[in-house]
Amino acid sequence: MKAQVLLPKIFNFPFTYQNNTQSKIGYLVEVPFGKKREIGVIWKNNNIELKNIKIKEIEKKTEYSISRKLIDFIEWFSIYNMVPLGLVLKMTIGGSDKFLRIKDNLVDPKKTKKKLFKLNTEQSLALKFLSQSDNKFKVSVLQGTTGSGKTLVYFEHIKKIVKRNSQALVLLPEIFLTNDFKSRFEDFFGFEPAIWHSKITPKQKRTIWKGIISNKIKILVGARSALLLPFKKLGIIIVDEEHDTSYKQDEGVIYNARDMAISRASFEKIPIHLVTSVPSMETYNNIQNKKYRHFKIEKRFDNFPLPETKIINLNIDKIKNKFIANETLKHVKSYLSNGDQVLFFINRRGFAPYLICKRCGKKLICNNCSLYLTFHKIKNKAVCHHCSAEQDIKIKCKSEGSCQFIMYGPGVEKIFDEVKEIFPSKKINIFSSDYLKKKDETKNLLKEIKENNVDILIGTQMISKGFNFPKLNCIVVIDADFSGRGYDLRTTEKNIQLYHQLSGRAGRFSSKSLIIYQTLNPSDITLTELIKNKSEDLLKNELLIREKNKLPPFVRLIAIIVSSKDRSSSLQGAREIKAKLNNISDLEVLGPVDSPLLKIKKNFRSRLLIRFNNRFLMQKKITNMLNGLKISSKIKLTVDVDPINFA
């Protein structure tokens, strides 16, 4: 008896083996492949007739299997995202050869002390609403202003699902959120959650993988890659902060974990809850079209009001070589004198994003990428935020001696220096990925903030997500700029979400809190509507603009990026691909154009953008065309289905 075995490699098809083990579809088996032995999965039988070929035998059947629903989902995922089938399987079974050969005993989760929580009226109604979707596929959106207690509501729902011996998956957009989330989880459930992301150890991965496939682990908290794990009895998926663009994986296997989570829930025939303070445009459109169920919690948990807002016009309050206005400082001093914490928000890492020599005019640009280098004081070097290349700033000047760089624009480090100078006696910390690389560093800083041992925080965008700081009651946005960079179609949407979430970090346990927007453009429509708390009006308007300009969610986009060491080769390759794509009906092919980020990691990039009606699934036709191309070895193709931006 023959069987098809799919291997977790770059192949888009299974291999035929002789099956004397009686293994059925879905079982993990060990097979010879080349000179090695590999773990694969018995796949659907495509009835391929092989003649005059000696077929190798399946050597060993394991005790583990994945469900037919997951197999169907993997196939759909592969087609939709235009990714080889074997690479998607690799995300499901990973290094299962290592998992299966090493014996690890499953350890019961460490018990912690439970706290008692009582839902308020709005939360109780939200829980009732979510519970109506049990045992079937339904997309429910739980929307609530920051601090309204959305997490508590879905924890209660998870508890009900787990009591029925089913499993729950909670997706978070960023790895660093898991630390803060973990303590809230332990307070509610009384045990540690299993946590899955790229930074956990191989041993932890083995333990969790075995626990998931055997239904011994009931609740998993994870980043994007947790979505493809082989749950034995998945009963619910939660996508927290569903609007967050970090759910988009932009390297390797490119996909949007939020959208794929909805698809997996559909294949599994289970409910999925999208949780947000301000929904993504796609989710908002589906709410408007009644495709998704929707419940909104209007008030904060203990009825604390949202912060008051103040716009400070930087054109009036002129500042010389400084970035914090005098009027801003009056408010900050008032809050600090009351024992409150203050956050200065600037969404730029490092010290200064632009360096230009005042003698010769040299601009410090990355040798590998067409990007300005950012000076980082912590390293005393200029760093590329794309390829991570570092450069010493002591450079021979064309005029004489060394270049004397003027540093333009502020980053968190520059604001830190300015704040330290104004408030020398205060405890000040930077909350940025460059300063919180290690798990313990993040954990310790969060503890210090919560125990009110930090007076002032200087933070980037990562501080706006999901953290709960009880004494934070004043936030200063150093530069409220809503202009975007031209190549991001989601600029307005992201700004609405970012600043709504950011304001929600303040005043969670206070009746008096404030968010200050320093800006050179105080009449900006997005800013003025945000201040009136009219985020829904902004989303409605953004939908009208998207529809008029034939942009998602009203059409489907697929980006094809052609890269090469030689600029002319990338453009020529893109032209040849466009000529072939034009033979497929119902496609509009835009470009080729130079990518706004023309060079990354020494490769020049040209872009094509395919636009088509989102009622059609055109990926199969496009994949077949691309697979039939004779592509020069000098160029590399990257396909991005549903791109987030046009960089």
R_g over Cα of the chain: 26
370 assigned to some structural domain = no
Q: Of 521, 546, 571, which residue constitutes the final position of a domain?
A: 546
Per-residue pLDDT tens over the stretch 105-120: 666 777 888 889 999 9
Range of the domain at 455: 308-348+410-546
Same domain, 138 and 285: yes
Stated pTM of the model: 0.92
Same domain, 429 and 507: yes
- CA of residue 543 relative to chain centroid, distance: 22
366 assigned to some structural domain = no
Q: Of 515, 546, 577, which residue constitutes the final position of a domain?
A: 546
The CATH number of residue 28's host domain is 3.40.1440
Same domain, 561 and 538: no
Instruction: Tell me which amino acid residue 248 is.
Output: K
329 assigned to some structural domain = yes
Same domain, 293 and 326: no
pLDDT for 634 equals 87
Q: Which two tokens stand for residue 126?
A: 């939200």
Tell me how far CA of residue 8 lies from CA of 28, 63, 97, 393, in angstroms. Answer: 11, 18, 11, 45
The CATH number of residue 494's host domain is 3.40.50.300
Number of H helices, E strands in the chain: 17, 29
Per-residue pLDDT tens over the stretch 424-439: 999 999 988 888 776 6
The CATH number of residue 580's host domain is 3.30.70.600
31 assigned to some structural domain = yes
Q: Which two tokens stand for residue 599?
A: 């060079």
293 assigned to some structural domain = yes
In what side-by-side order are the strands of the sheet with 555-564? 588-600, 603-613, 555-564, 635-641
Same domain, 465 and 583: no
111 assigned to some structural domain = no
Same domain, 315 and 228: no
Same domain, 489 and 634: no
* Omega before 596 within 30 of 0, i.e. cis: no
106 assigned to some structural domain = no
pLDDT for 294 equals 97
pLDDT for 211 equals 93
Same domain, 247 and 286: yes
- pLDDT average per 10 residues of sequence, the chain (647 residues): 91 90 91 91 75 82 94 97 96 76 70 89 96 90 90 96 95 82 91 90 90 94 95 97 93 95 98 96 96 93 82 78 91 95 92 92 92 92 92 89 90 95 95 78 82 92 79 92 68 85 80 90 83 83 93 95 94 94 94 91 94 91 91 90 89
Q: Which two tokens stand for residue 216?
A: 């011994």
pLDDT for 296 equals 95
Assess contact for 504 and 465: CB atoms under 8 A: no
pLDDT for 221 equals 95
pLDDT for 305 equals 79
pLDDT for 178 equals 75
Same domain, 506 and 613: no
Q: How far apart are CA 47 and CA 173, in angstroms?
A: 41
| Number of domains comprising the chain | 4
Same domain, 281 and 312: no
Same domain, 542 and 560: no
Unique residue bearing structure tokens 């629903």: 69
Contacts of 597 (CB under 8 A, 6+ apart): 369, 370, 371, 386, 605, 647
Same domain, 443 and 520: yes
485 assigned to some structural domain = yes
Assess contact for 185 and 83: CB atoms under 8 A: no
pLDDT for 147 equals 82
- β-bridge pairing 603-613 and 555-564: antiparallel
Q: Of 519, 546, 573, which residue constitutes the final position of a domain?
A: 546
